Structure 1
Amino acid sequence: MSLETFQKSDALSLGVELELQLVNTHDYDLAPYAEDMLRLMTKTPLPGAVVPEMTSSMIEVSTGVCRSSSEVLGQLSQIRDALVKCADKLNIAVVGGGTHPFQQWHERRIYDKPRFRELSELYGYLSKQFTIFGQHVHVGCPDADTALLTLHRMSRYIPHFIAMSASSPYVQGQDTAFDSARLNSVFAFPLSGRAPFALTWDDFTTYYDKMTRTGVVKSMKDFYWDIRPKPEFGTIEIRVFDTPLTVERAAALAGFVQALAAWFMEDQPFMPTEDDYLVYTYNRFQACRFGLDAAYVDPGTGQHMPLREHIQLTLHQVQRHAARLGASSFIHMLQSSVERAENDARWLRERQGEEELLAEVIRQAAQRFRGGMAHAQQG
């Protein structure tokens, strides 16, 4: 299949997808209720979409095209409130987080959809192990070449995205010692990792044509890259975020992406090179393993520094763009949490330290996801 034409989109427009956990309210294990949730959700008119994911205890929600991170929050809040109401009717709960802390992968069921069945046949047990939960952020690009340039500039900030969104410290009941263990499951797939270094759409098309000729790739969906172009939307899609525990943090991360993209497109702060990728895998591992306590090697200067320092520097660099885009409050929220070395992985570990029961941690995470809905119910 030939590569799709890169569609026109508004520069810096946003779209956000969240993969969410469905858990029962008995022992807070995953519950195969995706079909029931989808049936109930169709009765409520909402922005964006609600669709199934690989296994039947997952659901994916997405916004429509948004102009600002505040609009992202508005749409996600509306979808979240509808999800919570539907879940209450089914006596289940909806939870954020990049992994379910104690689910057993072999108990999962593949959702009955042709693409998921096909992937299950190809990838075997990896398909059920793909019961992991991420946030994807799309940012609009004015043309295809700008999209590729922005993609490769953005790659320097993959560790920042991982550390700030990390919410998957537990797998199969064990503390993995990673802040983001979710990405270890993604890396098992043969077409994961980084995009090829192509700065023009012509060069990228040549690469894509070579890959399709091998028969390994049939469409862009077959690439599980950390960032990939989405020509049908006119965007690039950043895929390394764990799903946060709240929609507010999801919107804040989208605001950070938008402000970064504005900085890249308007100020052209640096030119990406293939050498940027010499330290890419090292930086990504550090962020997955240590979160905000990771070490970071600046690909441009080779300087070693704490990742937290580089995140704070970056948040300061994009402040002017964030202000113009109406994202200042979100950038401030992220700055405050980085200064306190707080991310969702730390919150989950602190709750487990207090409760010593992962089911109770999930119950509290479900309350956290409800946000204002929890207060409304109590009132």
Structure 2
Amino acid sequence: MEPFGHSEALTLGVELELQLVNTHDYDLAPYSAEMLRLMEKIPLPGTVVPEMTSSMIEIATGICHSSSEVLGQLSQLRDALVRCADKLNIAIAGGGTHPFQQWHEQRIYDRPRFRQLSELYGYLSKQFTIFGQHVHIGCPDADSALLMLHRMSRYIPHFIALSASSPFVQGQDTQFDSARLNSVFAFPMSGRAPFTLSWDAFGEFFAKTTRTGVVKSMKDFYWDIRPKPEYGTIEIRVFDTPLTVERAAALSGFVQSLAAWFLKEQPFVPQEDDYMVYTYNRFRACRFGLEAVYVEPATGQHLPLREHIVATLDRIAPHAQDLGAAAAIDMLRGSADRGANDARWLRETVSRERLLAEMVRQGAERFRGRGAR
């Protein structure tokens, strides 16, 4: 395993997996190769890369110091994507799932790793046409990264509920706010990282798994949060891709403010027993979103997840203020107070318009910054 790299504590990096849709019936459109050819001519921050299937594209920021810097870079990338998509007569949309695409129609993007994964996982590879946001947070050192990872794990339900944007799959309302994560959970190396607070012990675990041949690199772990030693970060992977870059940036501000609270106040020491309620809490957040019940790991107390989110946002508000993330925290607090996430907007739009394709069209308008029309 490679050594844990150096990064500046609390720096951010954000990746967004996005939908390419045609403007005829708003189904997915296999245009990632054409989009990449157009985008490579434009000087931009961060990167634009292909994803598993050819109706997906991923944008990523460079190293950012604040959620407002994340928003600035994502906005530049978004605007360039939209201009290129317009030339191809397609559109770009957020959301964790496309609401009516058929997985068997998707094409694996022609890249060696994607071909290998397709051979290994069969139809699951095409069912992995799902769209998530990943947030990297810089950590002072390797042991601090593991401590950060296990502290963050208590807030996985908060991240899921606030970002949930995948209620529809294969033309049906799944009754989940985040159905996307059900596809992730099908992979054998998904779930939670092993509980260890020592990088040496984590290295021993990694050596055992590579020795068995089960994994070859850290990329083979589809954990909810995983270390990224090459960047000196941990990577949180449970967010659905939001419908707007503004919400994506706000979620990164939440992560950064939580991390600052952890580093500066050392509020609690994570325990293996925290994970006794982990799967239950994660499932409830996927199923019910902001209406979920949350079980507090330390006390076993049951309370509305919305209440715990608001209390958490209030607790970290001073750190958010210091980081310039106060507006991000206010946005998310408002969402929690109203019980309003992107999954709710998608359902309300379908209820009003009675057509999934029109929901996708309005979602694409929201992504480009025009709001719903």
TM-score (norm. length: structure 1): 0.98
| Corresponding position of 1:105 | 103
| Corresponding position of 1:267 | 265
Amino acid of the structure 2 residue aligned with 1:162: I
CA distance in 2, matches of 1:200, 1:302: 27
- In the TM superposition, residue 164 of structure 1 has moved relative to its aligned partner by 0.1
Amino acid of the structure 2 residue aligned with 1:278: M
* Partner secondary structure for residue 243 of structure 2: coil
The structure 1 segments of at least 4 consecutive aligned residues displaced by more than 4 Å after TM superposition are: none
- In the TM superposition, residue 181 of structure 1 has moved relative to its aligned partner by 0.1
Amino acid of the structure 1 residue aligned with 2:110: D
**2:217 counterpart (216, 219, 238):** 219
| Corresponding position of 1:339 | 337
CA distance in 1, matches of 2:16, 2:299: 34
Q: Is 1:285 aligned to 2:283, yes or no?
A: yes
| Corresponding position of 1:154 | 152
- In the TM superposition, residue 41 of structure 1 has moved relative to its aligned partner by 0.3
**2:319 counterpart (318, 321, 344):** 321
CA distance in 2, matches of 1:12, 1:301: 29
CA distance in 1, matches of 2:344, 2:302: 24
**2:356 counterpart (332, 355, 358):** 358
**2:29 counterpart (18, 31, 35):** 31
| Corresponding position of 1:56 | 54
CA distance in 1, matches of 2:64, 2:329: 18
| Corresponding position of 2:67 | 69
- In the TM superposition, residue 85 of structure 1 has moved relative to its aligned partner by 0.1
Amino acid of the structure 2 residue aligned with 1:210: K
Unpaired runs of 5+ in structure 1?
none
| Corresponding position of 1:207 | 205
Amino acid of the structure 2 residue aligned with 1:179: D
- In the TM superposition, residue 197 of structure 1 has moved relative to its aligned partner by 0.2
* Partner secondary structure for residue 296 of structure 1: strand
* Partner secondary structure for residue 5 of structure 1: coil
**2:10 counterpart (4, 9, 12):** 12
CA distance in 2, matches of 1:239, 1:105: 22
| Corresponding position of 1:195 | 193
**1:172 counterpart (163, 170, 173):** 170
Amino acid of the structure 2 residue aligned with 1:153: R
RMSD: 1.0
Unpaired runs of 5+ in structure 2?
none
- In the TM superposition, residue 217 of structure 1 has moved relative to its aligned partner by 0.7
CA distance in 1, matches of 2:134, 2:92: 18
- In the TM superposition, residue 301 of structure 1 has moved relative to its aligned partner by 1.2
- In the TM superposition, residue 353 of structure 1 has moved relative to its aligned partner by 0.1
Q: Is 1:348 aligned to 2:351, yes or no?
A: no
Amino acid of the structure 1 residue aligned with 2:350: Q
Write out per-residue CA displacement over residues 64-96 of structure 1, whole angstroms, 9 at most, x where no aligned residue: 000000000000000000000000000000000
* Partner secondary structure for residue 67 of structure 1: coil
CA distance in 1, matches of 2:328, 2:364: 22
CA distance in 2, matches of 1:300, 1:87: 48
- In the TM superposition, residue 116 of structure 1 has moved relative to its aligned partner by 0.1
- In the TM superposition, residue 230 of structure 1 has moved relative to its aligned partner by 0.1
**Percent identity, aligned pairs only?**
77
| Corresponding position of 1:138 | 136
CA distance in 2, matches of 1:5, 1:256: 28
CA distance in 1, matches of 2:241, 2:27: 18
Write out per-residue CA displacement over residues 255-289 of structure 1, whole angstroms, 9 at most, x where no aligned residue: 00000000011100000000000000000000000
CA distance in 2, matches of 1:317, 1:214: 44
| Corresponding position of 2:90 | 92
Amino acid of the structure 2 residue aligned with 1:292: L
- In the TM superposition, residue 337 of structure 1 has moved relative to its aligned partner by 1.1
Write out per-residue CA displacement over residues 22-61 of structure 1, whole angstroms, 9 at most, x where no aligned residue: 0000000000000000000011100000000000000000
Amino acid of the structure 1 residue aligned with 2:208: K
Amino acid of the structure 2 residue aligned with 1:167: S
- In the TM superposition, residue 185 of structure 1 has moved relative to its aligned partner by 0.1
CA distance in 1, matches of 2:126, 2:168: 17
TM-score (norm. length: structure 2): 0.99
* Partner secondary structure for residue 274 of structure 2: helix
**1:302 counterpart (292, 300, 303):** 300
CA distance in 2, matches of 1:101, 1:169: 8
CA distance in 2, matches of 1:185, 1:38: 26
| Corresponding position of 1:163 | 161
* Partner secondary structure for residue 331 of structure 2: helix
CA distance in 2, matches of 1:60, 1:362: 19
Amino acid of the structure 2 residue aligned with 1:88: D
* Partner secondary structure for residue 16 of structure 1: strand
* Partner secondary structure for residue 57 of structure 2: strand
CA distance in 2, matches of 1:193, 1:24: 34
CA distance in 2, matches of 1:248, 1:107: 31
- In the TM superposition, residue 120 of structure 1 has moved relative to its aligned partner by 0.1
